[in-house]
Amino acid sequence: MEAMSLLGLLSEALGILNLLQSDEKIDKNLEFSEILRDAKRFCLKNWQIADDMPLQLYSTGLVFAPTRAIVRKNFGKELPDWISTLPEVEQTWSTELQILEGHTGAVYSVAFAPNGHLLASGSYDKTVKLWDTATGALQQTLEGHSDSCRCVAFSPDSRFVASGSFDKTVKIWNSVTASLQQSLMGHLDSGILFPWAAVPELPPELILAPNSAFINIYRLSSWTRGVIIPLLVMRHHQPIYPLPNGLSASNNYLDELWCNPADKLVPYTPPGFDLTQNSFWAIDYLLHFLGGPLRISPLRRYAVQKCISWILEHQDKEGDWTGFYPSTAQNIMALKLEGFDLKSSPVQRGIEAVERLARQDGQGKQIQVTTSPVWDTVLMTVALCDTGMPSSRDYAEKAVQWIKGNQILETYGDWQVYRPQLAPGGFCFQYFNRYCPDFDDTAAAILAIVKQDGSAVKSEAVLRATEFLLALQNRDGGWGAFEVDNDSLFLNKMPFSDMDCLSDPATADVTGRVLEAWGLLLEKSQHEDSLPGHLISRVRQSANRAIAYLIATQEPTGAWFGRWGVNYIYGTSNVLCGLARFAAHINSIPDVVAPALEWLKSIQNMDGGWGESLLSYKDTKYAGIGPSTASQTAWALMALLPFLPATDTVVVRGIQYLLRTQTKVVGKGLSWPESHSTGVGFVNWFYMKYELYPHYFPMMALARWTQAAAINN
């Protein structure tokens, strides 16, 4: 090898080894075959050394050969005497055949020629390099692009290689002569459906920020964290996939994803005069500039590995990530990009989780964004208990047993980051979301369990849920959905915050439900076996703080904003149901309640019902305005009933609306049809239609009116 290199015949040396290996007679000689295989591995491993400095083969190549390598055993005596301490090396050759070095920037794509002789690589350094697959020698460097080369491909006969670049061109080269054959121009952008250049930077190094840092992953809401961490991995890899129809980026293959397809190649734009937004944009611009060096740094590799570890640690054993389709799908994609096989356990379980979200109907298979079994069960149980009907008792008892069985008592979720001493005890919305129990479901579960059996106030399920909610009350007195003190709203000014929901601050609707649960616990503690004394004191203190928060967040109209239900009717209903349990003991509550009641009266529709459209999230002038729906009418009635007599004209008209619109359904019984979405995922972006909302909420309203009417009579 040394001599052949000095003669400039290094490629021929490897060719001779390949020729000898192909000889059938030699192949049958196991000992000689092993010598040839070992010699070839040595040549491939030290090709660059032999080409640049052939006389250094003994001091640089042989020294680092595996201890059991045949070449080392045969030539070990030739090691230079001046090397006193030999490095620690592997015993046998690794699976790595060659390392091809020569690019000065990150390598984005590689492609083997169909004839197997060449390998092409496209790089951030704006070049395409062609390598000899047999020897690893650099054959050609193709230069001409003015921006990074993101994709390369060979023609079927291997004579030509095409390269696509962020400079909006495709170039075709002769793979033998390296001459440029043609430049194809005309793309409005970089030859892909949506360019990575139009996507804000998401550096994986974000995961390395300590939990005490001003910005870290745990300052993001749980729903953001579940999708951001896989996106950090995806943004690092920047995968590019061909469109199934094989056409260029100017086609209409996925135009359905855009409200206006003409805007699909418009990148995000820098902000105006907001200092915080401009600061984040400047950081993003800097990260774009440093993208190449960062992608090949050891720190980047470590950060990506930390992301993958987080992803694996946060997968429920059933396969879900947060019980939410976007996070589950994106985590699967991140694992795939990191080399996980489709048949690997995490990916397989993730795919099974997605399948569970699928539903088949006349239009084919559709994916639900999530499911709500715990939420629906606790609220239906509350409705059954409110009716007080003997026929409902068995159903309610069975439901409560199921609810208790779904309490999260062992898994320590993300809340432990800021409450490390707190034991689990919450409930989640979905079947599987153990790492992110939510406060709304937990409060509703307390209501269902205690309404079904007043003595359950001292049960482990209620005590654990109570401790859980007490420990996760915000400094401002309210509760968010999943996180404590997750109110860094400035994060919404980051370039990738397209929905302004990166945080999980306290909301009036969740706080109102927790307050209702606290009121029920304190009420039952007066008549049934009580909560422990120290817990009663803490619940009272917590309730006082929650009431102060609700007073501070009341709108000038008297209403409260609804984060998780549409909109001011929902928020006001939850708050008044909570305040009602404390109105007799706290003098300030009637003054707060009065304008809320007047607002609800003022927005009642002519048909006796209440309704509010999604437009109220766009403009407050639409607050409380919309066609009547069963669920929103029920919310309004439940808010009014604790404070108005059952015979009040407004209340009676609302009850008459529900009675008049109740409709026969398939099978036994009656329900209420409802076509409007009254549930909220992300304000102004994602709304939900709960199939059971127009059933159990009217059940609650009618049952509570019946009780109130009996008392009035």
Using a pLDDT cut of 90, give the percent of the chain over it: 53
Domain match, 216 and 345 both: yes
Q: Is the pLDDT of residue 95 over 90?
A: no
**Which one is predicted more confidently, 256 or 453?**
453
C-beta of residue 154 within 8 angstroms of C-beta of residue 163:
no
Which tens digits make up the pLDDT trace of 240-291? 776 666 555 556 767 777 777 766 656 566 666 778 777 877 777 777 777 7
For residue 618, is it left (φ>0), alpha (ψ between -120 and 50) or beta? alpha
Spatial CB neighbours of 453, under 8 Å, sequence gap ≥ 6: 397, 400
> Annotated catalytic, 440?
yes
pLDDT of res. 39 = 76
Q: Name the residue among 690, 570, 694, 581 with its Cα closest to residue 635.
A: 570
678 domain-assigned: no
Write down the pLDDT at residue 36.
74
CATH code of the domain covering residue 299: 1.50.10.20
Is 696 inside a domain boundary?
no
- Greater pLDDT, 670 or 31: 670
Quote the DSSP letter at residue 86.
P
Average pLDDT over residues 466-491: 94
Residue 568 Cα to chain centre, angstroms: 28
CA dihedral 632, 635, 637, 641 (to 10 degrees): -170
Q: Is residue 561 part of a domain?
A: no
Mean pLDDT value across residues 631-655:
97
The answer to whether residues 690 and 678 touch, using CB atoms and an 8 Å cutoff, is yes
Give the pLDDT band (50/70/90) at residue 392: confident
Task: Please report which confidence band the pLDDT of residue 6 belongs to, taking 50, 70 and 90 as the band edges.
Answer: low
Q: What percent of the chain has pLDDT over 70?
A: 87
pLDDT of residue 93: 66
Contacts of 18 (CB under 8 A, 6+ apart): 40, 134
pLDDT of residue 697: 97
Q: What confidence tens digit (pLDDT) does each residue in 483-538 have?
A: 999 998 888 888 777 778 889 999 999 999 999 999 999 999 887 668 888 899 99
434 and 347 housed in the same domain = no
According to the model, what pLDDT value does residue 89 have? 72
Per-residue pLDDT reduced to its tens digit, 286-344: 777 777 677 778 898 999 999 999 999 999 999 999 999 999 999 999 999 998 999 99
Q: Which residue, chain included where needed, has tokens 């699909």? A: 264
**CA–CA separation, 710 vs 704, rounded Å?**
10
Specify the residue for token string 């970089």.
Answer: 190
Q: Which residue has the higher pLDDT, 91 or 222?
A: 222
Provide the number of structural domains found in the chain: 4
Cβ pair 520, 706 in contact under 8 A? no
How much is the pLDDT for 99?
Answer: 76
Number of Cβ atoms within 10 Å of the Cβ of 465 = 26
Per-residue model confidence (pLDDT) at position 517: 97
* Cα–Cα dist 206/672, whole Å: 48
Six-digit token string for 496: 């990738």
pLDDT at 630 over 50: yes
Is there a single domain that holds both residue 178 and residue 208?
A: no
Task: Give the tokens for residue 130.
Answer: 């062609």
Mean predicted confidence (pLDDT) in 378-386: 97
Among the candidates 353, 369, 387, a domain finishes at 353
Q: At what angle do helices 373-387 and 693-712 cross, to 10 degrees?
A: 20
Q: CA 271 to CA 285: how far, in whole Å? A: 13
Q: Would you state the structure tokens that stand for residue 167, as one six-digit string?
A: 């400079």
Instruction: Tell whether 71 and 118 lie within a shared domain.
Output: no
One-character DSSP codes across 8-59: T-HHHHHHHHHHHHH-HHHHH-HHHHHHHHHHHHHHHHTHHHHHH-GGGIII
> 408 with 288, same domain?
no
708: pLDDT confidence band, cut at 50, 70 and 90? very high
Output the pLDDT for position 59: 62
CATH number at residue 177: 2.40.10.480
The band of 65, judged by pLDDT with boundaries at 50, 70 and 90, is confident
pLDDT value of position 190: 44
User: In terms of C-beta density within 10 A (0-12 exposed, 13-18 middle, 19 or more buried), how is residue 126 classed?
Assistant: buried
In terms of domains, do 343 and 260 share one? yes
Query: SS3 sequence, 654-708?
Result: HHHHHHHHCEECCCCCEECCCCCCCEEEECCCEEECCCCHHHHHHHHHHHHHHHH
Q: Is residue 254 part of a domain?
A: yes
Report the distance separating Cα 303 and Cα 436, nearest Å. 23
Reduced to 3 states, what is the DSSP secondary structure of residue 600? Answer: helix
Question: Residue range 603-619: average pLDDT?
Answer: 96
pLDDT at 9 over 90: no
- Of 167, 316, 440, 441, the catalytic one is 440
pLDDT at residue 672 tops 90: yes
Q: Mean pLDDT throughout 375-380? A: 97
Residue 503 confidence (pLDDT):
92
pLDDT digits (tens, 9 = 90+) for 650-664: 999 999 999 999 998
Write down the pLDDT at residue 1.
62
Give yes or no: residues 207 and 244 share one domain: yes
Alpha-carbon dihedral sign for residues 349, 353, 358, 359: positive
- For residue range 71-87, what is the model confidence (pLDDT) as tens digits? 777 777 777 777 767 77
| Residue 325 shares a structural domain with residue 239 | yes
Q: Which of 553, 569, 584 is the last residue of a domain?
A: 553
Q: Looking at the structure, do residues 322 and 409 belong to the same domain, yes or no?
A: no
User: Which strands sit side by side in the sheet containing 169-174, from one edge to the other?
Assistant: 149-154, 160-165, 169-174, 180-185
Q: What pLDDT is recorded for position 189?
A: 46
Q: Which residue has the higher pLDDT, 96 or 43?
A: 43
Compute the distance between CA of residue 698 and CA of residue 609 in angstroms, rounded to an integer.
11
> Do 158 and 130 form a contact (C-beta atoms < 8 A)?
no
Report the alpha-carbon distance of residue 170 to residue 248 in Å, rounded: 11
Residues 141-180 pLDDT 10s: 999 998 888 788 888 788 888 888 877 788 888 988 888 8
- Co-location of 128 and 240 in the same domain: no
Residue among 411, 419, 402 at smallest CA distance from 470: 419
* Distance from C-alpha of 569 to C-alpha of 550, rounded to nearest angstrom: 15
Name which of 301, 271, 303 is nearest 284 in CA terms.
271
Asked if 206 and 340 sit in the same domain, the reply is yes
Token pair for residue 587?
């003098």
Last residue of a domain, one of 155, 185, 215: 185
Residues 607-627 have a mean pLDDT of: 95
Whether the pLDDT of residue 467 is over 80: the answer is yes
Q: Is residue 446 in some structural domain?
A: yes
Q: Helices marked H in 388-505 — which ranges?
A: 390-405, 439-452, 460-471
Q: How many C-beta atoms lie closer than 10 Å to residue 644's C-beta?
A: 17
98 within 8 A of 47, measured Cβ to Cβ: yes
Compute the average pLDDT of residues 550-568.
Answer: 96
Residue 174: burial class (beta carbons within 10 Å; 0-12, 13-18, 19+): middle
| Residue 5 binned pLDDT confidence (cut-offs 50, 70, 90) | low
Contact 152, 161 (CB under 8 A): yes
Question: Distances in Å between the alpha carbon of 394 and those of 47, 132, 331, 380, 407?
Answer: 79, 76, 41, 13, 21
Residues 116, 670: Cα–Cα separation, whole Å:
70
Assess if residue 577 is contained within a domain: no
In a domain? residue 598: no
On whether both 405 and 272 belong to a single domain, the answer is no
Position of tokens 């003991």? Answer: 585
Q: Which domain, by its residues, includes 46?
A: 2-78
